[in-house]
Amino acid sequence: MNKEKLIEAARMARENAYCPYSRFMVGAAVLGENGKVYTGCNIENASYGVTVCAERVAIFTMVADGCRKFEALAVVGGGEEDGAPCMICRQVMTEFCKDFDVPVYVGGPTKVYEHSMKEICPLPFVSFKENEDYHH
């Protein structure tokens, strides 16, 4: 799957966002290493602490389907700024990315920027035993 299709999947997922409090719609799509695309949208709650971001919904859906690693991720916000992942999502992304060079496409209404996982999360909390190559 090319990046444009992944970004479009995130844009489509954004339309399902449940955000009556912030009114900030976000969609995400991850390409699992199994070749499937998993999508998610932000889901808010009156108790703000239980709100879930689009990236985590997409990744958790992938994991629930039995896939444990993703090869690319796209996230699209709906405000004036791009929808960069929050730090909680970045930490979850480090747990399930195939490697720290996977592309992360971050976009807003008009532009999409490409980063690597390592660029957007340079010092993640990781198990050094499992990720010895990260800090080299």
Among residues 8, 33, 55, 130, the one annotated as catalytic is 55
| Sole residue written with tokens 């970045």 | 90
DSSP 48: G
Residue 114 token pair: 């490409």
- The sheet with strand 27-32 has its strands ordered as 37-41, 27-32, 70-76, 103-107, 112-116
The alpha-helical segments, DSSP class H, found in the chain are 3-14, 54-64, 87-96, 117-120
Let me know if 55 is a catalytic residue: yes
Residues labelled as active-site residues: 55
